[in-house]
Structure formats: C-alpha cells, structure tokens
Amino acid sequence: MPSSGLQLLGFTLSLCGLAAAVAATFMVEWKRYYSKAHKIYEGMWMTCTGSEKLTCELHESLLKLPVEVQVTRAVMLFSILLSCVALLVSTVGMKCTRFMDGRDKSKNTAAMTGGILFMISGLLILIITSWYVRVIVQTFFGSHHLQRYEFGKAVFVSLGGALLSLAGGAFLSCRRCSGSSSSMSPTHLRTTPSTNYV
C-alpha cells in the first residue's frame, strides 16, 4: 500500500498551492509604479492610485485591458478551476477517506489523477506568471516614458503557489509507483511455490 504520510503531505502542499493561486489572482499588486509623490498598483481586477491613501477602481472594460492582463486573468482562473477539480478527485483517492473502501486500485488511480491535475495547474500558473514578468520587464527596458511599471508582490505569491502545486501533485502521482511495487511484493511471495528437500 502507498504511504499515507506522503499522500497527506502532497495533498497539503497542493492545497497550499491552490490557496496561494487564489490569493495571487485577487491581489492588486501585480504591477506597480513608485514615485516620490505617487503610487500606482495594477492587478487583474482593479487599479489603485494615490500617495498616502490609495483609491481603488475596478476595471470597467475587459477590452481596454492590456493583453498580458487579459491572458493572465483567464489562465489563472482556469488553473484555479482545474485545482478545485483535482482537490475533489484526490480527496476521493486518499486513504484517510472512506470513499471506495475496499477498492485500493481505484483509490490509487483517483489519487494519481488528482496529482496529475495539480501538476498541470501548477505548470500553467508557472508559465503564465513567467510570461507576465517577461512582458513587464521588456516594457520596462523598452519604454522611454517616465512612468515605467515593475512587477509586484502578487507575482511571487503566484510563483510560490505554482511550485507548491507541482510538488504536491508530484507526491500524489508518484505515490502509485511505490504503492504498486510494495503491493506486488507480498503477492509474489505468497505465489512462490515452496519446495521441501529431504
């Protein structure tokens, strides 16, 4: 049987990755601009401006947003949805739950499927966040305007969530390999014919 400790560790890491992805998606500091008298924060859903006290406004039109914001928002939402599905599937496959009791092979398959979905979600978040950072950096060095944006704290939260989802999904999916080998060993020992020599 697979190790329930590794399974619980993978599930916990994946759950933390999902929480970080949700937090990053709704954080306002994806892109920032600092000056001596003014601050601007731009996120996926709103923009905050001000000096000491910030005033936030929701994005009114989706079509007026930059391409990197539209694409990043869509991919982050899809990744969160995929992680929610992975959460449900892996919960069914966990040894500490009573779903599909007595069907160890089906539970292992469910846990492995949930782990793979978590890894896909983490990979999507990692790719889209890296692409967003690349666009911001290219704009920063290629722009001659005085107001040039830098990437903010939400980028680091998103990258952390991606790495946690990848690590947790790896524990959940690779668990099947160790489980299949350990579960076959006792069967192999039982089916090995014993010979008695006189």
How many Cα atoms are found within 13 Å in the side-chain-facing hemisphere of 27? 20
Q: What is the pTM of this model?
A: 0.78
**CB of 34 closer than 8 Å to CB of 140:** no
| Higher-pLDDT residue of 119, 150 | 119
Looking at 3.40.309.10, 1.20.140.150, 3.40.50.11540, 1.20.1280.50, the CATH number of the domain 4-27+66-183 comes to: 1.20.140.150
Give the model confidence (pLDDT) of 66-83 as tens digits.
888 889 999 999 999 999
Indicate the burial class of 161 (C-beta count within 10 angstroms; 0-12, 13-18, 19 or more).
buried
Domain boundaries, the chain: 4-27+66-183
Distances (CA, A) of 109 to 5, 81, 132, 162, 163: 17, 21, 35, 23, 23
Contacts with 23 (C-beta within 8 Å, 6 or more apart), sequence order = 157, 161
**CB of 117 closer than 8 Å to CB of 83:** yes
Give the model confidence (pLDDT) of 12-35 as tens digits.
999 999 999 999 999 988 888 777
- The mean pLDDT of 131-136, rounded to a whole number, is 89
- The mean pLDDT of 58-65, rounded to a whole number, is 76
For residue 113, give the H/E element and its range.
Answer: helix 104-142
Mean pLDDT of the chain: 79
Q: What percentage of the chain has pLDDT greater than the value 90?
A: 31
pLDDT at 97: 65
